[in-house]
Structure 1
Amino acid sequence: MSKNKVIVLAVLEGGMSKSEAARRYGVSRQWVHELLRRHAQAGNSGLAPRSRRPRTSPHATPAPTRDRILALRAGLTQKGLDAGADTIAAHLQREGIPAPAATTIHRILRAAGTVVPEPHKRPRSSLHRFEAHQPNETWQSDFTHWALADGTDTEILNFLDDHSRYLLHIRAHRRVTGPDVVEAFLDTASAHGLPASTLTDNGMVYTTRLSGGRGGRNGFETLIASLGITQKNGHPGHPQTQGKIERFHQTLKKWLHGQPPAHTVEDLNEQLDKFRQIYNHERPHRALNRRTPAEGYTATPKAAPSIASQGEHWRVRTDRVDADGKVTLRHAGRLRHLGIGRAHKHKRIIVLVREADVTAVEHGTGEILAEFTIDPTRGYQPKKQNTPGPKTGGVNDVPTHP
């Protein structure tokens, strides 16, 4: 017989007063009154011990916040984006909603059945990350395969900033060629400045160093060397060196799986433009303390190659020498005619501009054809005498980090 029942029987059947029962059984007089009230309402069943858990908790996650957590989980997953607890917390903060701890969000997701246990997954604490200290210090580049709706294979070429994970360039091609890589690099450099170094695998579109010396440098190697940019290539069979862009490809494909299948390369590129906006400006990144890549890319001064001084910006453009051996450049509000020389007529060139200094480099060979210092009082600009040969960079250097 429970102590509560003994107290009630002592009062009701034993004739003991409430005060005496309280002293006899070591409880308060108020508790004796409560037991008698419960017995009167529910009989002996009312005397059973009850939970002391509070009906409400001041620390419980509010219902609207819980609902928003589950909605974000569903929405991000449907879009093919990361939907982990940390990411959801970052989205809540961006929406002005006080975010619970990541462990609390994880418990809410697990209670809702939206988390799939992965007991054998490698813990993040075991990973060793290496990253550049500044934007444009290193650009990683690679391409990956993606099938159109009819099964046609395409190749998606990317340039990624190592420091900020900022997606500098993304474009789908039927097949990525060496000229595609050169054009993509020039377009990217024109928009974002020149990098101090590049990091790629050993694909033939990036380097010929594993081809047994046949054919010499390719167009990308020649261009990089001409611009004084250090070219790094990973060790064969060790893709971890390009780990950031390999991980980026997983994120990209997860997102593409959530989109309607593209029927043409043009359709796919429209999707990739949308993805680039989301990835750079809307999706917080764990490695950036939940900032977006765009925020990380603009937060720190950019690095530059040896051809440029720190903090100076080089404009990069391509052109073709006309039949008279000249190219036209707008500088300080006026068109300037640069005298490259008739010996180079119709050649495709790369024009580098930094303030009044201009360098013309042959597109295919990397040879410096002419250098100029713009005279603002003249329209025609003669080249400097004794123009040096092509600059060289650390071509095919292997990264020192694993």
Structure 2
Amino acid sequence: MITVLDDHSRFVVNHGLFKSATAEAVLEVLKGAMAKHGLPREILTDNGPQFVTWKGVTRFEKLLQQLGIYHTKARPHHPQTLGKIESFHRNIERELLNVEVFRTMAEAATRISWYIEHYNYSRPHEGIGGFTPADRYFGIAQEVERWQKEKKALGNEEVVAAGPPAVFVVGKVLGHQVRLEDSGGRLELHVDGKLFKAMDLIPKKVV
């Protein structure tokens, strides 16, 4: 199993299941990750032969050089450097790979994909404040924290304690952070942390 994990959020940006960890397999997973999510500034790996060789430059290193991506290599015999991805691999081994029986590679690949889907989008992570990896990767965690600060600044401690409203959508449009929320029956659109537009959803009483 080859996995590409975002260091900041623990979000698995791509993965693949292969009979052996060849250079071709590593490049396939890496290129898939970049096609889905863009180029990273830096990549951290161990010193496996797919990544590093004393003879010269590997195909992996050549690709990173061509794309302007900095390659950081873990210190030998120091597994803590790769602690986040090692922790993910331990969890999936303990919770899935060591307890399930797979009849084919295709079946194993499908079950692994289901596990990662749940891990990315539905499983809160203590290391990132109880958010899911997707919450942090896509900026939702940061927007929730910004929302909490805004409400605290206005003295709305009870609102903060109750958590974000049921209508709370976060995303990016043309590079701008956009947030749509329910504020006591009023639908508010925030752009880059500032209120852009609001609309009352509760009809006014006619006297």
How big is the shift at 1:254? 1.7
Give, as a single letter, the amino acid of the residue that structure 1 aligns with 2:78: H
Unaligned runs of 5+ in 2: 143-174, 176-207
Aligned length: 142
Identify which of 26, 40, 46 aligns with 1:195.
Answer: 40
Which structure has more relative contact order (CA 8 Å, sep 6+)? It is 1
- Percentage of pairs with the same residue: 35
| Cα RMSD (Å) | 1.7
Aligned 1:243-254 pairs, distance under 5 A: 243-254=83-94
Cα distance in 2 for residues equivalent to 1:241 and 1:185: 20
Offset of 1:273 from its aligned partner? 0.7
Alignment partners' CA distance in 2, 1:223 and 1:190: 14
Measure, in 2, the Cα distance between the counterparts of 1:187 and 1:269. 16
List structure 1 segments (4+ residues) > 2 angstroms apart after TM superposition: 257-260
Please tell me whether Structure 1 or Structure 2 has the larger radius of gyration of its CA atoms.
Answer: 1
Q: Structure 1: any 5+ residue segments left out of the alignment?
A: 1-155, 301-310, 312-402
Which amino acid counterpart does residue 158 of structure 1 have in structure 2? T
1:101 match: none
* 1:177 and 2:17 aligned: no
Match of 1:49 in 2: none
Distance in 2, matches of 1:237 and 1:275, equals 29
CA shift for structure 1 position 258? 6.9
Secondary structure of the residue aligned to 1:173 is: coil
2:106 counterpart of 1:266: yes
> Which secondary structure state, in structure 2, belongs to the residue aligned with residue 187 of structure 1?
helix
Tell me the amino acid that sits aligned with residue 34 of structure 2.
Answer: A
| Equivalent AA in structure 2 for residue 240 of structure 1 | Q
Letter in 1 for 2:120: N
The two structures have a TM-score, normalised by structure 1, of 0.34
Secondary structure, in 3 states, of the residue corresponding to 1:198? strand
Superposed CA offset, 1:275-320 (max 9, x none): 11110011100011110000010116xxxxxxxxxx7xxxxxxxxx
CA distance, structure 2, for counterparts of residue 258 and residue 176 of structure 1:
19
Please tell me whether the aligned partners of residues 171 and 272 of structure 1 are also in contact (alpha carbons under 8 angstroms): no
3-state SS, counterpart of residue 217 of structure 1: coil
Number of the residue aligned with 2:67: 227
Residue identity in the other structure for 2:90? Q
Q: Would you tell me which structure has more helix in proportion to its own residues?
A: 2
Shift of 1:257: 4.7
Please report how far the alpha carbon of residue 220 of structure 1 lies from its aligned counterpart in structure 2 after TM superposition: 0.7
TM-score, structure 2 length as denominator?
0.65
